[in-house]
């Protein structure tokens, strides 16, 4: 006991020495990285206010690990493969971009930007259905899956083995038994329980891969989330949007929470770009590679009478610049009449914030819809803390009260729409694997506008005065959360 007492007394008196050394080392490491000032300051604050624990968080989640270099190599490899055919595609791309000018040429710059950066090829031989909430999406999806003849490719952030998940899996198992190729990628952070069943489903014929498995030795992988939701059927049909595979996305549900979300069903040439992205991820994580031939990129037999120009913006930790964010900024800057945004989280980067403020100041009617009650008190408080300057300039802010607003959409001038997985926050813009479909179609935009107006009827109009009258301690809490915004 005497020895224990002596050690305890020594630790009490001299604990500050190792703490100082650890903190100093972390401080120097953060500064040497020369990261963005706001992110650097945020990590320094975490370490100061959470001794030892904050340092652990930083070394696990804050550093630029080798994974980022790996992702960059993958992106570069993908670009090389695209460049092999890009010159051949230039006449096609040029013709497709010209088709966007039949609408209004002030919004077609985003197609040129994404094509010039070799991010995505624009296509116009497409048909798109807007799907509101899981009840609309899954009814169509189950029928499309049953009709699959060659392959089914699925890449999802959250895939639950609940009622809807089990229905989908039953179809996948049946299709695999028929000899149809079924490939499934799930994110280990978002679908941890399902990931543990990998061997079981492989034995049933499903080719199953886990994106960045999270283990104690690789906890940093959880910071890189594959947030995409992609389904490709026979190279003709594609689904993208914010709706994960889970019963809670279908209304009504046992969770007694109305879930407001948006997705699209694509029939057409645009599905080829989804296929290419799925193939890139599959090649990077699977030993069972496949060749991206005409079986996966088939010629469309249907020629749609009405042309529907669309493309995609993709982002990943390896992307420089962040193409989803920059494409959105480009479109917001071109807006002349209106911008409607839906997102569960609003933690904008400085450049995105500036683009929105300029749009409001030049007279564009900008409206933003957020959930009234978020699924994270820290992120919700941080989101609200950003709103004051926007509201003071004239932005309309609505807090959705019927349930949880999870849609990730932007509608510009009643013509151009973004529908995808990208939240309007730093994580989606700079860290996660994300995608947004970019659709230039008046009908789709009109449907989004009508849905936005319906949602305002079950929302609270939020003003600068309401924020001013909020309880002081909540605003103080929000201010602290805002300082951590670069890390959320």
Given 151, 160, 408, 425, which residue is catalytic?
408
CB 148 within 8 A of CB 181: no
Residues 346, 339: Cα–Cα separation, whole Å:
15
Given 413, 425, 441, 455, which residue is catalytic?
413
Cα dist from 430 to 191, 244, 322, 433, 487, whole Å = 22, 21, 6, 9, 11
- Tokens matching residue 171: 């179809």
151 annotated active-site = no
Burial (0-12, 13-18, 19+ Cβ within 10 Å), 283: middle
Given 137, 151, 248, 406, which residue is catalytic?
406
Strand stretches in 323-380, DSSP E: 338-342, 346-347, 365-371
Parallel/antiparallel/unpaired status of strands 338-342 and 365-371: parallel
CB 301 within 8 A of CB 125: no
234 annotated active-site = yes
Residues 37, 50: Cα–Cα separation, whole Å:
20
Torsion sign (Cα): 320, 324, 325, 331:
positive
Instruction: Tell me which H or E stretch contains 30.
Output: helix 16-32
Instruction: Tell me which H or E stretch contains 439.
Output: strand 434-440
User: What are the DSSP calls for 76-105, one per residue?
Assistant: HHHHHHHHHHHHHHHHHHHHHHHHHTTT-G
Cα dist from 480 to 210, 344, 385, 401, whole Å = 35, 20, 10, 25
Given 137, 175, 227, 272, which residue is catalytic?
227
Given 153, 175, 229, 272, which residue is catalytic?
229
153 annotated active-site = no
CB 107 within 8 A of CB 412: yes
Angle, CA 371 vertex, CA 370 and CA 377 arms, to 5°: 110
Given 234, 269, 425, 455, which residue is catalytic?
234
Number of helices and strands in the chain (H, E): 19, 19
**Active site residues per annotation:** 227, 229, 234, 406, 408, 413
């Amino acid at each position: 006991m005497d020895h224990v007492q002596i050690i305890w007394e020594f630790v009490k008196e001299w604990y500050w020495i190792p703490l100082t050394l650890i903190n100093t080392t972390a401080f120097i490491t953060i500064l040497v990285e020369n990261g963005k000032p706001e992110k650097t300051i945020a990590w320094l604050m975490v370490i100061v206010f959470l001794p030892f624990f904050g340092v652990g968080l930083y070394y696990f989640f804050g550093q630029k690990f080798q994974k980022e270099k790996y992702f960059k190599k993958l992106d570069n490899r993908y670009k090389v493969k695209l460049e092999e055919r890009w010159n051949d595609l230039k006449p096609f791309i040029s013709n497709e971009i010209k088709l966007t000018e039949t609408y209004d040429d002030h919004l077609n710059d985003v197609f040129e930007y994404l094509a010039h950066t070799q991010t995505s090829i624009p296509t116009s031989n497409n048909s798109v259905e807007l799907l509101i909430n899981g009840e609309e999406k899954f009814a169509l999806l189950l029928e499309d899956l049953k009709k699959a003849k060659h392959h089914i490719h699925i890449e999802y952030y959250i895939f639950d083995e609940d009622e809807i998940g089990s229905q989908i899996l039953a179809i996948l198992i049946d299709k695999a038994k028929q000899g149809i190729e079924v490939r499934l990628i799930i994110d280990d952070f978002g679908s941890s329980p399902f990931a543990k069943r990998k061997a079981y489903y492989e034995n049933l014929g499903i080719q199953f891969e886990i994106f960045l498995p999270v283990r104690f030795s690789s906890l940093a992988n959880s910071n890189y989330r594959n947030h995409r939701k992609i389904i490709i059927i026979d190279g003709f049909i594609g689904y993208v949007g914010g709706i994960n595979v889970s019963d809670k996305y279908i209304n009504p549900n046992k969770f007694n929470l109305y879930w407001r979300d948006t997705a699209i069903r694509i029939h057409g040439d645009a599905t080829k770009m989804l296929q290419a992205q799925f193939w890139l991820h599959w090649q990077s994580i699977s030993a069972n590679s496949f060749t991206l031939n005409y079986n996966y990129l088939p010629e469309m037999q249907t020629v749609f009478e009405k042309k529907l120009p669309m493309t995609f913006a993709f982002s990943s930790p390896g992307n420089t610049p962040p193409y989803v964010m920059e494409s959105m900024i480009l479109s917001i800057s071109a807006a002349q009449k209106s911008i409607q945004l839906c997102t569960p989280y609003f933690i904008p980067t400085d450049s995105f914030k500036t683009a929105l403020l300029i749009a409001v100041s030049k007279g564009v009617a900008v409206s933003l819809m957020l959930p009234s009650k978020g699924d994270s008190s820290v992120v919700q408080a941080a989101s609200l803390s950003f709103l004051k300057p926007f509201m003071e300039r004239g932005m309309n802010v609505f807090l959705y009260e019927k349930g949880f607003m999870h849609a990730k959409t932007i509608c510009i001038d009643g013509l151009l729409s973004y529908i995808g997985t990208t939240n309007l926050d730093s994580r989606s813009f700079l860290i996660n694997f994300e995608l947004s479909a970019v659709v230039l179609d008046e009908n789709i935009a009109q449907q989004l506008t009508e849905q936005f107006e319906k949602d305002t009827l079950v929302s609270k109009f939020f003003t600068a005065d309401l924020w001013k009258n909020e309880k002081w301690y909540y605003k103080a809490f929000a201010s602290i959360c805002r300082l951590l915004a670069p890390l959320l």
